[in-house]
Amino acid sequence: MMMRTTLTLEDDVASLLDRAQRDWEGTYKGLVNHALRIGLAHLQSPPAEARAYSTRGGSLGGCLLASLDDVSDSLALAEGEGFR
């Protein structure tokens, strides 16, 4: 079965099709059908499983303060004595 229809393409889609047509060996209709087949197959395929992401740990060195309980001491060390 063949269906004839009129499509209104957004500017970015039309631009992508125009660029793809430069390397396409067939008709514009053939290119649109090919792109639709690929896109629709992609939409119907199950989503890929997400891969776990991890970062390597690294040493940050020892704490420069004996206690982090006093916020003003911590800020004075981080921002300089001008903080006080």
Per-residue pLDDT tens over the stretch 67-83: 888 888 888 888 877 65
- Per-residue model confidence as pLDDT tens digits over 19-59: 999 999 999 999 999 999 999 999 999 888 888 989 999 99
CA distance readout (Å), 66 to 33, 61, 81:
70, 14, 17
**pLDDT for 72:** 83
* Prediction pTM value: 0.54
**pLDDT for 84:** 53
Cα separation, 58 vs 83, in Å, equals 30
Higher pLDDT, 64 or 55: 55
**pLDDT for 70:** 83
